Amino acid sequence: MIVLMDQRMDSTEHQAFIKSLRSEFQDVEFITECTNEALETAIPMADVYYGMPWQALIEKRQSLRWIHFPATGIDGLTFSDMKLEDTDITVTNCRGPHASSMGDHTVGMMVTLAHQLNEVWTDQENAQWDRTKYIGRQVELTGKNLGLLGAGDIGMAVAHRTHGFGMNIYAVDKNTSPREPYIPEVWGPERIDHLMEISDWLIIAAPLTKETIGLITSQRIKLMKKGSYIIVVSRGKIVDENALVKALEEGHLAGAAVDAFAEEPLPKDSLMWKTKNLLVTPHMSGSTLELTEGRFNIFRENLRRFKASKPFLYTPNLALGY
């Protein structure tokens, strides 16, 4: 059996991971050489690919039976003239390990905005003591309405944490089964406008699909209460970024935080860098050591299952996009 590993796996952690795989699976050949010549030879022979697939991999495959995508969102698994769901290749992803850290990050952004901690850090750098500018500007989370667009792993991690703050949690998701005790009722996508209207805090935790791309428009942002907040943690392109900036500049939104953008890296000339009360983080909300180890363990377990012809962990629905 031949496993072709993503040619970008050059970090210390990834190299240690590959070493451990070679130790456990001594009858498996792991190919990590990434020259064009090496890939030309390896692709037709590979049974498994670990990483982000590309067009040539799919076109030149001969033995490829399984692609493991070492992340959660599969919106990047699209090609110009081919759909993976139309091939005989099984795709697995890494659900789960990202949720806790992204839940932590989301709550951290909420507390930062609620208490202007970003301004406090600037004051500290400047040795500036000014209590008066914060009086009446801080808001409490207790008793406020939290709206979740997406009640999957990320949404539930946020719900678990914000439930402890005493927030009222509402959600819109295609899966409308209740998530007791945090979300007794989950609404279908037809209730998105109502979610916008009642939310003091709106958390974007949905996958990027053909249904969610561009879902949060300028008109929908205007439905939100004056002084409300938006946190984008799952994927860019769901929220109209220009409309978000405008709502902040006009004072309709009190604050926002964005970790995933329509274009990444965020261009240096983007207005989002300098928009007041907008926190920009470089798509790193899930980047913990625990996340990396958790994703490694999923692939390791799935490789065991592949060798034993057992069902995989985490096979997303490619047609649905998650």
Is the Cβ–Cβ distance between 149 and 92 less than 8 Å? no
Question: Which runs of E-coded beta strand occur in the chain?
Answer: 2-5, 29-31, 48-50, 66-68, 90-92, 145-149, 168-172, 186-187, 201-204, 228-232, 253-258, 278-280
Task: Say if residue 126 is exposed, middle or buried (CB neighbours under 10 Å; 0-12, 13-18, 19+).
Answer: exposed
Indicate if the pLDDT at residue 101 is higher than 60: yes
| Residues 234, 108, 71: CA angle, nearest 5 degrees | 30
Q: Please give the distance of CA 319 from its chain centroid, rounded to a whole number.
A: 19
* Claim to verify: residue 89 and residue 149 sit in the same structural domain: no
Task: Grade residue 9 by pLDDT with cuts at 50, 70 and 90.
Answer: low
Give me the pLDDT at residue 106, please. 98
Residue 37 lies in a domain: yes
Q: How many whole angstroms separate alpha carbon 282 and alpha carbon 264?
A: 8
* Claim to verify: residue 144 and residue 194 sit in the same structural domain: yes
Q: What average pLDDT score do residues 89-101 get? A: 93
Mean pLDDT taken over the chain: 93
Residue 318 lies in a domain: no
Element (H, E) at 193: helix 192-198
Residue 268 lies in a domain: yes
Give me the pLDDT at residue 8, please. 66
Task: Grade residue 7 by pLDDT with cuts at 50, 70 and 90.
Answer: low
pLDDT tens profile 274-312: 999 999 999 999 999 899 899 999 999 999 999 999 999
Give me the pLDDT at residue 188, please. 98
Task: Grade residue 109 by pLDDT with cuts at 50, 70 and 90.
Answer: very high
Q: How many whole angstroms separate alpha carbon 298 and alpha carbon 95?
A: 9
Q: How many whole angstroms separate alpha carbon 54 and alpha carbon 90?
A: 15
Give me the pLDDT at residue 115, please. 97
State the virtual CA torsion across 40, 87, 151, 214 in degrees, nearest 10: 80
Residue 315 lies in a domain: no
Give me the pLDDT at residue 82, please. 62
φ, ψ of residue 285 in degrees (nearest 5):
-65, -25
Residue 244 lies in a domain: yes
Look at 233 and 9; give whichever has higher pLDDT: 233
The 3-state DSSP class for residue 230 equals strand
N-to-C CA span, the chain: 28
Indicate if the pLDDT at residue 236 is higher than 60: yes
Residue 319 lies in a domain: no
* Claim to verify: residue 125 and residue 273 sit in the same structural domain: yes
* Claim to verify: residue 253 and residue 300 sit in the same structural domain: no
* Claim to verify: residue 178 and residue 208 sit in the same structural domain: yes
Name the least confident of 34-43, 130-139, 263-272: 34-43
Residue 64 lies in a domain: yes
* Claim to verify: residue 8 and residue 47 sit in the same structural domain: yes
* Claim to verify: residue 120 and residue 76 sit in the same structural domain: no
Give me the pLDDT at residue 78, please. 65
Give me the pLDDT at residue 153, please. 94
How many domains is the chain built from? 2
* Claim to verify: residue 300 and residue 250 sit in the same structural domain: no
* Claim to verify: residue 111 and residue 244 sit in the same structural domain: yes
Look at 163 and 59; give whichever has higher pLDDT: 163
177: containing domain: 99-280
pLDDT tens profile 178-221: 999 999 899 999 999 999 999 999 999 999 999 999 999 999 99
* Claim to verify: residue 116 and residue 255 sit in the same structural domain: yes
> With pLDDT > 70 as the criterion, what percentage of the chain qualifies?
97
Look at 85 and 286; give whichever has higher pLDDT: 286
Cis before residue 184, ω within 30 degrees of 0?
no
Name the residues annotated as catalytic: 235, 264, 283
Other C-beta atoms lying within 10 Å of the C-beta of residue 259: 23
DSSP track, 91-137: EE---SHHHHHHHHHHHHHHHHHHTTHHHHHHHHHTT---SGGGTTT
Q: How many whole angstroms separate alpha carbon 205 and alpha carbon 229?
A: 14
Give me the pLDDT at residue 256, please. 98
Q: Quote the DSSP letter at residue 216.
A: B
Domain containing residue 202: CATH number:
3.40.50.720
Is the Cβ–Cβ distance between 199 and 146 less than 8 Å? yes
205: closest CA among 243, 223, 232?
232
* Claim to verify: residue 60 and residue 201 sit in the same structural domain: no
Give me the pLDDT at residue 322, please. 86
Task: Grade residue 83 by pLDDT with cuts at 50, 70 and 90.
Answer: confident
User: Per DSSP, what are the bridge partners of residue 85?
Assistant: none
Q: What is the CA radius of gyration of the chain?
A: 22
Residue 88 lies in a domain: yes
* Claim to verify: residue 79 and residue 108 sit in the same structural domain: no
Element (H, E) at 248: helix 241-249
